[in-house]
Structure 1
Amino acid sequence: MMKEAKNIPLSKYQHLFFDLDHTLWDFETNAKNTLSDLYQKNDLFTRGIKDFDAFFARYSFHNERLWDRYTKGFIKQEELRWKRLWLSMLDFKIADEPLAKSLSVEFLELLPQKTTLFPYTIEILDYLLNKGYRMHLITNGFDAVQHSKIQNSKIHHYFEEVITSERSNSLKPNKEIFEFALQLTKAEKEHSIMIGDNLDADIQGAINAGLETVFVNHINATPHIQPTYIVHHLKELEEIF
């Protein structure tokens, strides 16, 4: 049974480990805006992609599927980067591997410049910082890309450590990335909690590492894993912390 926030003493948690994409940084909005820019710049309409929204829907489908394969160790980083665009174009009968790889490079250059955060992100980070919590990021995203995102979004100063898959040589949901984070920050499990949107990577991964969890359920999904807490809006974190 999920614990009631009011029963938790204020001093229980000291280290808050956040996920970045889909939790604080609005990946879907930023990715859609980035892909729209590339769609226009590369004149993909005349290449046969007549409906941008349909193209983005296919990108989202392939991106989610490939990220799942990447986190499970079935594919490498480079394959994920370009195949999500290549497969999206194939759905429109465009078999142009060089274009897919070129778009992949442009996409990763432009994406971190986008700065849309979920509502109340700055406010909740200010709130938590002012209450004395020590905050860190644990992300499967690419090292340079993730650092650019938080710098451009002006939230870098809230986090003491940014633990990426590259830095830790592991990926969520593997418990090693969480153990690396705990060791790096000198945090104790009983005083730490993971906050993220992905039930398998963030929540189950943290549970496997012995951490309590907050599932940030922006999309009102039906949980198939039981977190310690569930919130549907970042402001609700105030009820826990």
Structure 2
Amino acid sequence: MFDHEITDVFFDLDHTLWDFEKNSALTFAKILVDNKVKVDLDGFLEVYAPINMQMWTLYRENGISKSELRYQRLKQTFDTLRVPISDEVIDVLAHDYIAHLSSFTHLLPNTVQTLEYLFPKYKLHIITNGFQEVQEKKLKGSSIHHYFQKIVDSEMAGVKKPDPYIFELALDMAKVKPKNSLMVGDNLEADILGAKAMGMQVLHYNFHRESNHGECTMINDLIEIKSIL
């Protein structure tokens, strides 16, 4: 399937290994109650999810800062729901969200089984656009930190996927050539096209149930990696 022998496998974290949607929902269930914000949780999450994705796209493209992302995704959600809320409460929610998010530890199906299978055979690493102070806690809290040799995040690199430099940095830290590396991620632009442009092999974990794009092999469950590697 791959043109060259794979020695190193690089994973994205959110929506690839770590169940962002479930853990995020549990975080909001806690912090909205803690801060006495009266809003229907399911209705809130339904509006929040696409706005959060839009904000992350803007952040990835350097259209907004980290602090703007954290504020705007909440502000726009409450505005859409027509729930009056002060900036002070939004700031508290934004802080509490980051403080509590990593305390929830749900992984996507077959994450541990897949890592257990790969761990003796390959060197495993993480490349993530997530925030440094949160991603380490997610990995440790969900008990998968020990599987990974190098963990590269966008704050460390100073750029975000799909910028070539973050992949270049990760490859350099892992001391591996692009052709012997495999990138596994959920985001077509950031993970797949970004890594492919660097000469890495790629595998698209189709978390978002996108239609087949022809750029590379797509998998719908992590356990499928066992039959590929």
Q: TM-score, structure 1 length as denominator? A: 0.91
Is the CA contact 2:114–2:223 (under 8 Å) kept in the aligned structure 1? yes
**Other-structure match for 1:17:** 10
- C-alpha displacement at 1:92, in angstroms? 2.6
Q: 1:226 aligns with which of 192, 199, 215?
A: 215
Give a deviation string over 1:103-154, Cα, whole Å, max 9, x none: 0000000001110001111111010012x20000000000010000000000
**Other-structure match for 1:106:** 96
Is the CA contact 1:165–1:177 (under 8 Å) kept in the aligned structure 2? yes
**Other-structure match for 1:27:** 20
The percent identity for this pair of structures is: 35
- C-alpha displacement at 1:222, in angstroms? 1.1
Displacement over 2 Å in runs of 4+: none
Give a deviation string over 1:69-88, Cα, whole Å, max 9, x none: 00011111111112111111
Give a deviation string over 1:194-216, Cα, whole Å, max 9, x none: 00001111011111212110000
Equivalent-residue separation in structure 2 for 1:230 and 1:18 (angstroms):
14
- Where 1:91 maps in the other structure, the secondary structure is helix
The two structures, once aligned, show a CA RMSD in angstroms of: 1.4
Equivalent-residue separation in structure 2 for 1:149 and 1:75 (angstroms):
24
Structure 2 vs 1, CA of residues 181 and 96 (structure 1 numbering), >3 Å: closer, same or farther? Answer: same
Is the CA contact 2:10–2:124 (under 8 Å) kept in the aligned structure 1? yes
- Pairwise mapping of residues 89-104 of structure 1 onto structure 2 (< 5 A)? 89-93=78-82, 94-104=84-94
**Other-structure match for 1:58:** 47
Q: 1:206 aligns with which of 175, 178, 195?
A: 195
Residue type of the alignment partner of 1:161: K
Is the CA contact 2:212–2:218 (under 8 Å) kept in the aligned structure 1? no
- Pairwise mapping of residues 56-205 of structure 1 onto structure 2 (< 5 A)? 56-93=45-82, 94-130=84-120, 132-205=121-194
- C-alpha displacement at 1:43, in angstroms? 1.9
5+ residue gaps, structure 1, are none
5+ residue gaps, structure 2, are none
Greater CA deviation, 152-161 or 35-44?
35-44
Is the CA contact 1:38–1:107 (under 8 Å) kept in the aligned structure 2? yes
Equivalent-residue separation in structure 2 for 1:66 and 1:84 (angstroms):
6
Equivalent-residue separation in structure 2 for 1:163 and 1:222 (angstroms):
29
Q: 1:215 aligns with which of 184, 199, 204?
A: 204
Residue type of the alignment partner of 1:39: L
Q: 2:36 aligns with which of 34, 43, 47?
A: 43
Equivalent-residue separation in structure 2 for 1:92 and 1:14 (angstroms):
49
Give a deviation string over 1:146-201, Cα, whole Å, max 9, x none: 00000000000000011000111110011111011111111111110100001111
- C-alpha displacement at 1:95, in angstroms? 4.3
Query: Does the alignment pair 1:235 with 2:223?
Result: yes
Equivalent-residue separation in structure 1 for 2:78 and 2:213 (angstroms):
33
Residue type of the alignment partner of 1:211: M
Equivalent-residue separation in structure 2 for 1:139 and 1:223 (angstroms):
24
Is the CA contact 2:126–2:152 (under 8 Å) kept in the aligned structure 1? yes
Residue type of the alignment partner of 1:125: L
Residue type of the alignment partner of 1:92: L
